[in-house]
Amino acid sequence: MATINTTDPKPGYVYDSDTDTWYPLLGLATQSLDGLTDVVITTPTSGQILAYNGTQWINQTETGDVTAVTSGTGISITNSTGPIPSVAVDTAVVATTNNTLTLSGKTIALGSNTVSGTIADFNTALTDGDFATIAGIETLTSKTLTTPTINGGTAANGILIGPEERWNIVASAATGTVNIDALTSAVWYYTSDATANHTLNFRGSSTTSMNTLLTTGDAITILWLNTNGATAYYPNVYQVDGTTSGVTVNWSGGTAPSSGNASSLDVYSFTIVKTANATFRVLAAGAVKYA
pLDDT over 90 at 65, yes or no: no
pLDDT over 70 at 163, yes or no: no
pLDDT over 90 at 32, yes or no: no
> Residue 76 and residue 93: Cα distance in Å, rounded?
11
| Per-residue pLDDT band at 241 (split at 50, 70, 90) | very high
Distance of CA 220 to the CA centre of its chain: 34
Lowest mean pLDDT among 84-88, 167-171, 226-230: 84-88
231 vs 30, more confident: 231
216 vs 98, more confident: 216
The pLDDT, as a whole number, for residue 128 is 60
Cβ-Cβ contacts under 8 Å for 200 (sequence gap 6 or more): 178, 180, 224, 235, 237, 238, 239, 270
The pLDDT, as a whole number, for residue 214 is 95
The pLDDT, as a whole number, for residue 4 is 61
pLDDT over 80 at 111, yes or no: no
89 vs 10, more confident: 89
Tens digit of each residue's pLDDT (9 = 90 or more) over 182-199: 999 999 999 999 999 999
The DSSP-derived string for 127-195 is: -GGGGTT--S----SS----S-EETTEEEETTEEES----EEEEEEE--EEEEEETTT-SEEEEEEPP-
Cβ-Cβ contacts under 8 Å for 27 (sequence gap 6 or more): none
Q: What percent of the chain has pLDDT over 90?
A: 42
The pLDDT, as a whole number, for residue 28 is 47
Q: What is the pTM of this model?
A: 0.49
Interval 240-247 mean pLDDT: 97
Please provide the average confidence, as pLDDT, over all residues in the chain. 80
